[in-house]
A and B are shown apart, each in its own frame.
Chain A
Amino acid sequence: MLILFTVTTLAAGAPAVDSLLQHLDEQYKQTTDVRANVTLTQEKPQQGAKKTDMLYYRRDSDKSFLIVMTGPESEKGNGYLRVGDNFWMYRKNTRTFQHINRDESIGGSDAHGDDFEDRQLSDMYQAVKDSAGNDIITEEMLGKVPVWRFDVVAKVNDVDYPKKTYWVQVRKDQNSKEETIMLKEASYSKSGTLMQTTYYLAFTRLLGKIVPVKQLYIDNFEVGNKTIVEISGISTDKLDDNIFTKAYLENLSK
């Protein structure tokens, strides 16, 4: 179910960036199992659109997820399985599992393994501060929506983008509970070049939390490339433990 933006009030005064990051982590944290259908649509100039459908299972409690491709025909049956620190890619044609890195591309798209992880933003990034040690955060309008804009830099080495800019909305829901929602994200290379802009276009509510169900990734480096990620059929029913096993992925691929 899509949620329309009904802003009631914004937080008075600029919030601390670290607390915003923590609130975002809280929003994205899933305490239950999750199952969803995901569609990745990649558009490249002169190549048209390529659509990839997949099933996505996730269990944050033991850092597990399973992705299996259901379309197109050339990718059907291929999959990815992560359990703890182990990450495998499964190829249906050869019926083999290959141990891979978290920055491996998923289905040849711009999504990578670490995009499906549950890593905390607050563990990976910290606020950019001014010379006085204060967070650099400004209030802006994103279309008609008031947002907080701030920059962060990586605290650890193993992130894709060492610098990011976030546009975050802080609002109150129907129960007057404060919610922090990311609406836009700009990702920069180490040299400061804008590489990617992400728009979070649509959301749904899942067990009291806001979950983005439509994201647009625009490639700012190779202009014209973009990827749309759409999530549907979300279920939070408990998943069978067998799902996060190689045997299950192999069977599913058949």
Chain B
Amino acid sequence: MNFLFTISLRNLLRQRRRSVLLGSAIAFGTAILVIANAFAHGISEVLFNDVVAYVAGHVSLSFTKGANLNNQVFPDGDRMIKIIRDQLGSGPRINEAIGVFARAIGNGKSDNVIMVGMDPNGDASEKEKKQYQKNFRVLEGSFDALTDSTIENPVGLAEDKAKSLNVKLNDIIRVRFSDIHGQTQAARLTVSVIFKPSNAFMSAPIFLHTKALKKLLGYGPHDIAQLYLRIDNPKKNAIAFANKLHAALTPPLAVIDGNLTCKGTSFTTTLLALRTDSASLALLRSNTSIVKRCGDDTALFNRKSVIISRAFSEKNGIGCGDTCRVTFDGKFDSLKGSIKFIINTVIENGAGIDGNTVLVDEKEFYNAYYDVLPISVVTDKGAFRPDTTIAIYPSLGGEWLLLKRSKTTKEVMKTYRDVAHKGWKAIVVDVGSMYETASMVLNLEIALNMITFICVMLLFFIILIGVINTLRMTIRERTREIGTVRAIGMQRGDVRNSFLIETGLLALISACIGTIAAFLAMFGISRITINLEDNPLSMLLVDKHLFFAPTPSATVAFILLIVFIALITAFFPARRAAKLSAAEALRHFE
């Protein structure tokens, strides 16, 4: 084998000009491939690390109320955070994500803005804090001012946004927005920090301290908005962590234990939520029978059903048409909640809810439930929990509704459309990893890679036509030489292999040179400052520079691919050369 290698190398060096020209073409194609791939990967790195991680988190927990994606609230934040910590430990950094669209009026100019909550001193690793400082380079003021209670609603905004609103440090911006209840709210914000963002995405939002923004939006002291978790090794751990969290978030049954007052009497009662989508009502219909029903429709359950069993009705002397009120203790701050309803359905015993239990349609139930979150207690004084095996159990509402894990952004949106369509009233909880919430970013990277790969392969195709042509010429020129070496004993396989090794060596050396040239070019190009203000393409820049992110695995793979393609290309002419008979080859004249 050594002698073949020596012969091939000698042949390469013998025809220097041809080898250099062909090698340059291969090196050029390799360089383009490496640069293009590094650029595509760089874009997705920027989007993932600088945008998705902040915009969507590596793992996210969203709480949608009333099927309104703009209404993100869960009434017991500590409980959710405890579940996260129990499942994932103290590693993940948890941040509350709040953003709301607003109309802002500055000094004679107005603009649409997104008010985003941030906590400069919150949960972040050292690396993330450095990333923060890089992403939000302070020009005037300080992010510490966001926590200054002596300033009226301190806000930070990007230099460009400050220009569009014609404001400077300490100026007032008036904003109009809708709070979590959908009510119009107005506020005055004081410009406390002006920064230069590292990419265009960060120019649009204006930043308030999370606590301040929550107060403006009408969040209660125990409410939380969406949660974003940032984790170590997100590409490796995000999906696994999301799955683990999802498994731990199966909701318990929603119950209100309280005191029912009806027709002058009072006794402890348990209220359960009746899900009123068509499947749940059908389940109820097929597993119970109506003894008495008030109202227009005496045959069917509907979305306004308030149901008790015959046993409950007879025991307590209440029934169809009676107006009752339940008062109950709240979980927080010694609040008291209440719910008023009119009983309109009595069902036969045996459905599994024969105790002092009232099934209230989910709309009325959850209005009261989320208004004052009840203490969940199990006592022996009439509080009742249905057996999970009863037939109608699936039609009873949980404390929240947990969506199935989705695989892509498209699936997530479809799920939310279904939620809106079905009109579920419980808070909808969704656990997502960055792969689902930002699957479009992943798809963008895949699409960019495919496009660059196809374009470069086309380029290579053209180059390889040159390779084939050159090889044919070489074989033709060396026909007598082939005849000579065959005559002195070289086997056909060795003739073929010598050409293959020659082409392979050329491709390998050229690809390596091309790769080195690519790295040098990327180094140089990334040093160029590009001013693309007000241009959407500026989102692709990091601090006004192009960003390349080559990966060792991709670089090595490209080199191997190029060598492989060159070998395949050379195989057939080399085999043809090997098949030449020695006598015929010796007789050949150019």
A and B physically associate:
yes
- For the complex, what is the distance from the CA of A158 to the CA of B65, rounded to whole Å? 12
A 152-167 binary contact with B (CB < 8 Å = 1; else 0)? 0010011111100000
Residue A173 interfacial (CB < 8 Å): no
- In the bound complex, residues from chain A placing their C-beta under 8 Å from that of B17 are none
Are A195 and B184 interface neighbours, CB within 8 A?
Answer: yes
Residues of chain B within 8 A (CB-CB) of A195 are: 176, 184, 186
Known: A101-B68, A190-B218. A161 touches B420 (CB 8 A): no
Which residue of chain B has its CB nearest to the CB of A196? B184
In the assembled complex, A115 has its CB within 8 A of some CB on chain B: no
Q: A80-104, CB under 8 A of B: which get 1 and which 0? A: 0000011000000000001101010
Residue of A nearest to B174 (CB): A221
Given contacts A190-B218, A191-B187, contact A103 B103 (CB under 8 A): no
Are B421 and A160 within 8 A (Cβ)?
A: no
- Complex CA–CA separation, A42 to B519 (angstroms): 56
Scoring A159, A162, A189 by chain B CB atoms within 10 A of each residue's CB, the highest score goes to A189
Q: Do A154 and B184 touch across chains, with their CB atoms under 8 A apart? A: no
Is A139 an interface residue, CB under 8 A from the partner? Answer: no
Taking the closest CB of chain A, its distance from the CB of B147, in whole angstroms, is 21
Nearest-Cβ distance from residue A90 to partner chain B, whole angstroms: 15
Alpha-carbon separation in the docked complex, A187 to B423 (Å): 30
Asked if A189 and B186 sit within 8 Å, CB to CB, the answer is: yes
Q: Does B470 contact A (CB under 8 A)?
A: no
Digitize A169-210: 1 where CB-to-B-CB distance is under 8 Å, 0 elsewhere: 000000000000000000101110101000000000000000
Other-chain contact of A159, B174, B183, B185, B421 (Cβ < 8 Å): B183
Q: Are A160 and B185 in contact (CB under 8 A)?
A: no
Give the distance in Å from the alpha carbon of A162 to the alpha carbon of B218 in the complex: 12
CB distance from B103 to the nearest CB of A (A): 7
**Within the assembled complex, what's the spacing in Å between the Cα atoms of A247 and B178?**
33
Instruction: Report which residue of B176, B183, B184 has the largest number of chain A beta carbons within 10 angstroms of its beta carbon.
Output: B184
Highest count of chain A CB atoms <10 Å: which of B174, B185, B186, B187 = B186
CB proximity of B362 to chain A, nearest CB, Å: 12
For chain A, the bracket of interface size reads 20 to 34
Instruction: List the A residue with the shortest CB-CB distance to B218.
Output: A190
Is A222 part of the binding interface, using a Cβ–Cβ cutoff of 8 Å? Answer: yes
CB distance from B416 to the nearest CB of A (A): 9
B105 touches A190 (CB 8 A): no
Decide if B183 touches A222 in the complex (CB within 8 Å): no
Which partner residue on chain A sits nearest B177 by CB separation?
Answer: A189
A103→B181 CA distance, assembly (Å): 11
Q: List the A side residues contacting B187 at CB < 8 Å.
A: 191
A103/B176 in contact, CB under 8 A: no
Q: Does B182 contact A (CB under 8 A)?
A: yes
Given A101-B68, A221-B105, also A161-B184 (CB < 8 A): yes
CB distance B417 to A157 under 8 Å?
A: no
**Closest Cβ of chain A: how far from B114's Cβ, in Å?**
17
| Known A-B contacts A99-B421, A189-B176, A221-B176; A160 and B183 likewise in contact (beta carbons under 8 Å) | yes
Contact of B181 among A98, A99, A157 (CB under 8 A): A157
Other-chain contact of B110, A187, A190, A222 (Cβ < 8 Å): A222
Measured CB to CB, the closest approach of chain B to A247, in angstroms, equals: 17
| Total A-B residue contacts, Cβ distance less than 8 Å | 57
Is the CB of B179 closer than 8 A to any CB of chain A?
A: yes
Q: Which of A85, A98, A161 contacts B183 (CB 8 A)?
A: A161
Bound CA–CA A185/B417 (angstroms): 36
A129 and B339 CA atoms in complex are apart in Å by 25
Task: Give chain A residues whose Cβ lies under 8 Å from the Cβ of B186.
Answer: 189, 191, 193, 195, 221
Residues of A within 8 A of B181 (CB): 157-158
Instruction: Report the nearest B residue to A114, measured CB to CB.
Output: B182
> For A160, what are the chain B residues with a Cβ–Cβ distance below 8 Å?
178, 182-184
Known contacts A99-B420, A101-B68, A222-B110: A157-B103 contact under CB 8 Å: no
In the assembled complex, the Cα of A114 lies from the Cα of B72 at a distance in Å of 21
For the complex, give the distance between the alpha carbons of A222 and B218 in Å: 23
Enumerate chain A residues within 8 angstroms of B184, measured Cβ to Cβ. Answer: 160-162, 187, 189-190, 195
Q: Are A221 and B103 also in contact (CB < 8 A) when A154-B183, A187-B184 are? A: yes
In the complex, what distance in Å separates the CA atom of A216 from the CA atom of B197?
42
How far does the alpha carbon of A193 sit from the alpha carbon of B68 in the complex, in Å? Answer: 26
Q: Which residues of B contact A103 (CB under 8 A)?
A: 178, 182
Q: Which residue of A lies closest to B363 (CB)?
A: A85
- Residues of chain B within 8 A (CB-CB) of A193 are 186
Residues of A within 8 A of B420 (CB): 99
Choose one: A162, A187, A222; the contact of B103 (CB below 8 Å): A222
Measured between beta carbons, the chain B residues less than 8 angstroms from A99 are 67, 417, 420-421
Interface membership of chain B positions 399-423, coded 1 if the CB is closer than 8 angstroms to chain A and 0 otherwise? 0000000000000000001001101
Note all chain B residues with C-beta closer than 8 A to A158.
181-182
| Contact across chains for B103 and A189 when beta carbons are under 8 A apart | no
- CA of A103 to CA of B183, assembled, Å: 10
**Distance in angstroms between the alpha carbons of A187 and B186 in the assembled complex:** 12
**Within 8 Å CB of B67, what residues of A?**
99, 101
Which one of B174, B176, B183, B417 has the greatest number of beta carbons of chain A within 10 Å? B183
Q: Which residues of B contact A187 (CB under 8 A)?
A: 184
**Which chain B residues border A86 with CB–CB below 8 Å?**
421, 423
Q: A86 CA to B417 CA in the complex, in Å?
A: 12
With A101-B68, A103-B178, A190-B218 in contact, is A162–B421 under 8 Å at CB?
no
CB contacts under 8 Å to A, within B59-102, are: 67-68, 70
Q: Which residue of B lies closest to A99 (CB)?
A: B420
Write out the residue numbers on chain B whose beta carbons fall within 8 Å of the beta carbon of A154: 183
Taking CB atoms, residues of chain A closer than 8 Å to B105 are 221-222
CB < 8 Å neighbour of B179 from A85, A101, A190:
A190
CB nearest to B70 among chain A residues = A101
Question: Which residues of chain B in 177-201 are interfacial with respect to chain A, using CB atoms and an 8 Å cutoff?
Answer: 178-179, 181-187
In the complex with contacts A99-B421, A221-B174, A222-B110, A190-B185 CB distance below 8 A: yes
- The 6 A-B pairs of least Cβ separation, nearest first, read A193-B186, A157-B181, A189-B186, A99-B420, A190-B185, A189-B185
List 18 extra interface pairs beyond A99-B421, A103-B182, CB under 8 A: A85-B423, A86-B421, A86-B423, A99-B417, A101-B67, A101-B70, A101-B182, A103-B178, A157-B181, A157-B182, A160-B178, A187-B184, A190-B183, A190-B184, A191-B187, A221-B176, A222-B105, A222-B176
5 A–B contacts from the bound complex (CB under 8 Å) = A86-B421, A86-B423, A158-B181, A221-B103, A222-B103
